[in-house]
Structures are given as structure tokens and as C-alpha cells.
Amino acid sequence: MALEHALLVSLSERAGSGYELARRFDKSIGYFWSATHQQIYRVLKRMEEAGWVTVESVAQQGKPDKKVYSVAPAGAEELARWIAEPAESVPTRDELGVKVRGAAHGDIDAVCAEVARHRAEHAQRLEEYQLSEKKFFPAPDQLSGTALHQYLVLRAGIRAETGYVEWCDEVLQALRPRKGDHRP
């Protein structure tokens, strides 16, 4: 997937300025596809040049005009083409998993500390996802269209974070010394 496709999805949901897109990215799509604000602006320029988006200048009081981007017909066609194409299954790359596997060859306490740190980060993200679920999707059985699709992606995030937190708990339970255990 290219950043262009993530931006087309976001702009299909709601037109916006580069700044607004970057903020939306930070709070939703960015959980699944990361990009810096500078990358977003560069890609928006390319998308405009390719005819995938249109730009409207909106006057602001005391500030420079704001550029508001919308999906152009060519962008809608590209998005539909991309959605129909098979998605690549990306193999998992998890440095922490490799560290856990090699724990016997290093400092197990340091590995446990790192697992605990990762657990805390994933637990925080899980809490954010669950708060979003309650705030934006209080009646999931009544959802359809874009709202249903957003909810389903959020549920994938909740399930992934839940699984990662549970795995970290399992690792910590298994690696922390029990009474009477002696480490070499």
C-alpha cells in the first residue's frame, strides 16, 4: 500500500487540509499506516499533480489561505482499483520476539523489563482503542457503510492489542523467577 491510498481513503470520508489530514492520521489511520506530516504534504502535492485530488483555497482571517483537498474522479477510480487488488500478506517482524527467543543468552531481567515496557505501550493503545469504540461506536449492531468499516478496523486493532498484552503477560509469567528458582 502506498501512502496515497491511505490518504484517498481518508479524503473519501471527509475533505480536509493537509493539517487536518495529518491530525486525522495521528488519531485513526495512523494506527495502521504511519506517516509524518511532511510526507503527507509531499504526497498530497504528487496526488494533485496526478489529478487524484482537487484543491480549493479557503480564505482565513489573519492566516494564509487554507488548501482543502477532495478526491477527484481519477482518485476515486484509483482507490477503487486499489481496493479490488489483492492485499499482500506481510510477514511479522517483531524484534521483541527475537529477544525473548534469545533470552537464555543474555540478561533475562533486562528482557523482562523490555517486555513489561512493551506491555505498557500496548495496554495504553488498547485503552485508547476501547475508548474510541465506546465514544464513536456505542451501537455497533446498527452500523453500516463507512461507519461499519471504520468500526471493523478498530476491532482488528483491539483484538491485536489484546493479544499482544496477553502474550506479554504470558512471557513475564514464564520468565520471572519463581520461589526457589536460581538463575545462572
Q: What is the tens place of the pLDDT at every residue in 52-77?
A: 999 999 988 998 889 999 999 999 99
Query: What confidence score (pLDDT) does residue 114 get?
Result: 97
Domain assignment of residue 180, yes or no: no
pTM for this model (two decimals) = 0.80
- Does the pLDDT value for residue 1 go beyond 90? no
For 115-128, what is the mean pLDDT?
96
pLDDT band at 183 (very low <50, low <70, confident <90, very high): low
- Does the pLDDT value for residue 181 go beyond 80? no
Cβ-in-10-Å burial (0-12, 13-18, 19+) of 155 comes to middle
- Range in 81-95, 112-126, 130-144, 146-160 with the lowest mean pLDDT: 81-95
For 152-179, what is the mean pLDDT?
92
Domain assignment of residue 181, yes or no: no
Q: Which domain holds residue 71?
A: 3-84
The 10 Å Cβ neighbour count of residue 27 is 10
Specify whether 123 is located in the same domain as 168.
yes
Domain count, the chain: 2
Specify whether 74 is located in the same domain as 103.
no
Specify whether 100 is located in the same domain as 168.
yes
Domain end among 84, 104, 128: 84
Question: What does the alpha-carbon distance between residue 22 and residue 34 come to, in Å, rounded to a whole number?
Answer: 10
Specify whether 78 is located in the same domain as 102.
no
